[in-house]
Chain A
Amino acid sequence: MTKFHMNRRTLIKKAGLGAAALSTPYFFTKGAWADSFCNNPDTVGKIIFGFNVPQTGSYAEEGLEQLSGYKLAIKHLNGEGDGGLLNTFSPKTLKGNGVLGRKVEYVTGDTQTNTDAARDGARRMIERDGVIMVTGCVTTGEAVAQQSLCQEMGVIYMSGLTHGNETTGKDKRRYGFRHYFNAHQTGIAIAPILEREYGKERRAYHITADYNWGWSQEASMKAATEALGWETVAAIRTPLGLGDFSQYLTPVAHSGADILIINHYGHDMVNSLPQAVQFGLRERMANDKQFEIIVPMFSELMAVGAGDAVKGIIGTQNWNWQLDDAGSQAFTKSYGEEYGVPPSQSAHTGYVQALLYADAVERAGTFYPPEVIKALEGFEFDGMGNGPTLYRAEDHQCMKEVLVVRGNENPSSRFDVLNLIGKTPREEATYDPSIFEGELGPYEPNQC
């Protein structure tokens, strides 16, 4: 029993300390409420970025790559390393001396590829760690969950790898920004290459992941291919995370189709593409044409996961380290020196987003979110590896060129599994933002 008393005594002591510690920041925020904003670095005392990516669960690898990109961005922002894209970024405002002359720090979190965990992580960063900006995700679910939270809290969210139309469509938010491209742009971008490679008379069979992203990808691909004159034979929906998709692949050979479009992402695609190839589809002749498979959306890690099956398959990408512009080369060089491997598009989009935020603060001259948002909206920049790019004001979607890639037939290492076969210019990948409903919301946050 004496033990218990001891505990209680220490507890009371700690309680006193804790209360004192707690009341201090409370006092400050209350006093500064009127003319300040959530996690003002002047009151927090530091500039902290929050990197919230999946580190466990099935998308851990993409998440950890993204985190590597973010860490590199922090180094370059603080003037360590070779400066990376700071040297090629134009217009040039970042000087490599931190943001507004102060060093940047960061905290990390694990989203577990789960919307609840993602929001928990973002809340911890905002409420406990005092971050001025949250960034990172690997799925659209995580992106939408975090950016709606950040809108409520009044903290800017720079999304990571999210390809669904919702992020800058139906669920767009004033405080959320996306550099990555989306399902709709994939459809627009891939169509001309498909026409060039496979002609105008094709019969397509869609296999689609049965959730929001799959549906929007399927709709975009249908619209784009039907505009070419292709016919859609069937579109079948598959449960997410099924593993073995053979029951949906079995009928494809007998359907009269000569193209299979796999609207799957991540592990669904890693599983279904090799399975489709095993069904002998690509050795088949159908309607006197060679049977082909298309995977609209690719990532390097997915391509590595799918192995040999990816050879010769066409898809789209946001960025590829083999690009030869100055920005891409600078990034590949500094990332390769840091980690010994070339960067993936997940690392690239994370790195670029961190830089774009820092740059917007630098240009706005303040961390006050509404001003930073205005600095990002309609911002025209270049030298980040995607050619001239516009952060569109209407929906906070980056307008830039889209890459079309094909699985390398003879990869020399696990890093050149994808070959660049075309770029769809920015003018063609630009679309009317009003085709998606949803509204951005106000500049002023309603709570912190």
Chain B
Amino acid sequence: MTAMLAQLLNGLDKGGAYALIALGLTLVFGTLGVVNFAHGALFMLGCFCAVTFRYLITIETVTVDPTKLTPWGSPVEVRTPLVQNWFGDFGAVMVDYSVPISLILAVPTMLAIGIAMERGLIKHFYKRTHAEQILVTFGLAIVLQEVVKAFFGANPYPQPIPTDLRSAADIGILLGLEPRTLTYPWWRIIYLAFSLFVIGGVFAFLQFTTFGMVVRAGMADRETVGLMGIDIDRRFTIVFGLAAVVAGVAGVMYTPLLPPNYHLGMDFLVLSFVVVVVGGMGSLPGAVVAGFLLGILQSIASMTEIKSLIPGIDQVIIYLVAVIILLVLPRGLMGRRGVMES
């Protein structure tokens, strides 16, 4: 029973991550009608915002101690971190909490990257075929990841969880179980809450603001909105920036769970596409529901009991579910008619 509960919690946690990663992708699909193969790269750039921030606040002054030598004969370097020198304990806390703090860096950076991408390249591809959108965004994704590789190398950069949040939370006590029977890592619970918060924020933004209303109208019928004298292009630029921010912050908070390397985006690309399509093209609620559904099913399929019944089920569960759902429901869970079907 507790095993099942723990596994469900894990499924929710995975689902939150999937939904969050897919959210920006479906936003771009639904509004701009662009198949963005660079979405994974945006997620990866978000991760490297955290890496860069940590690098910046752990910059050290290097002094050379000529009396001691390394095994290969060069003098030993003595390093003193600057931030700690300047700010003392506060600096130490800043270094400790570098991942959440780096959101401050990530949001404007990703917004700028997103807007630059849309203005510089994506804008010219609204009326081109999906095939050409795929080619150009895939090319862009490769360029972005190679640039990151040139700066950071190919090895992963582990990002620490703040010391206070490193332990596992005793969820069981809340449910009236014995202590230490059902525990789950704090950071994963935080990630789940964070993803719900961001998803809720995006929905509220689209639902309750005038800007969101115009964007939703644009999603439904772009031409009519344009005919009404609304500068829909400018808004769509901001939507693309928003999608980049969502992908970026999803990446930042994910870094402690998965040490990021330059290749990470490609690994998440296929998954995020599957989530979006299972949810239904252009449907934001669909993507969220599909994210949680796939997360929970994947988690349950990985249990030993299930695996021994159907060998290899955990290898294919996501794709199997995608196939079944798409065959039963023509447009995924909540897809609208006519989006990306031609």
Contacts and interface: CB of A to CB of B under 8 A. Distances in A.
Which range holds the interface residue count of chain A? 35 or more
Contacts of A301: 155
A322 B72 CA distance: 11
A253 B303 CA distance: 14
B26 interface: no
Contact of B74 (A61, A248, A271, A336): A336
Interface in B146-184: 149, 153-161, 166-168, 180-184
Interface stretch (A26-34, A118-126, A139-147, A305-313): A305-313
A255 B311 CA distance: 21
Contact of A271 (B14, B259, B299): B259
A279 B183 contact: yes
Contact of A308 (B156, B160, B184): B160
Given A244-B257, A278-B161, A337 B73 contact: yes
Interface string B84-104: 000000000000000000000
A283 interface: yes
A253 B183 contact: yes
B10 interface: yes
Contacts of A267: 156, 261
B31 interface: no
B314 A305 contact: no
Contacts of B184: 250, 279
Interface stretch (A93-101, A234-242, A364-372): A234-242
Nearest to B316: A239
B149 A333 contact: no
A279 B267 contact: no
A278 B185 contact: yes
Contact of B7 (A247, A270, A284, A340): A247
A333 B73 contact: yes
Nearest to B6: A250
A275 B257 contact: yes
A312 to B, nearest CB: 15
A237 B313 CA distance: 11
Contacts of A408: none
Nearest to B146: A56
A25 interface: no
B149 A210 contact: no
Contact of B6 (A254, A271, A304, A342): A254
Contact of B257 (A61, A278, A321, A337): A278
17 contacts: A236-B302, A246-B10, A250-B7, A251-B6, A253-B183, A254-B3, A275-B257, A278-B185, A278-B187, A278-B257, A284-B180, A306-B259, A321-B71, A322-B71, A333-B71, A336-B70, A340-B74
Interface of B: 2-3, 6-7, 9-11, 13-14, 17, 70-74, 149, 153-161, 166-168, 180-185, 187-188, 256-259, 261, 263, 267-268, 298-299, 302-304, 307, 314-315
Interface of A: 57-61, 64, 210, 234, 236-239, 241, 243-244, 246-248, 250-251, 253-254, 267, 270-271, 274-275, 278-280, 283-284, 301, 304-309, 321-322, 329, 332-337, 340, 342
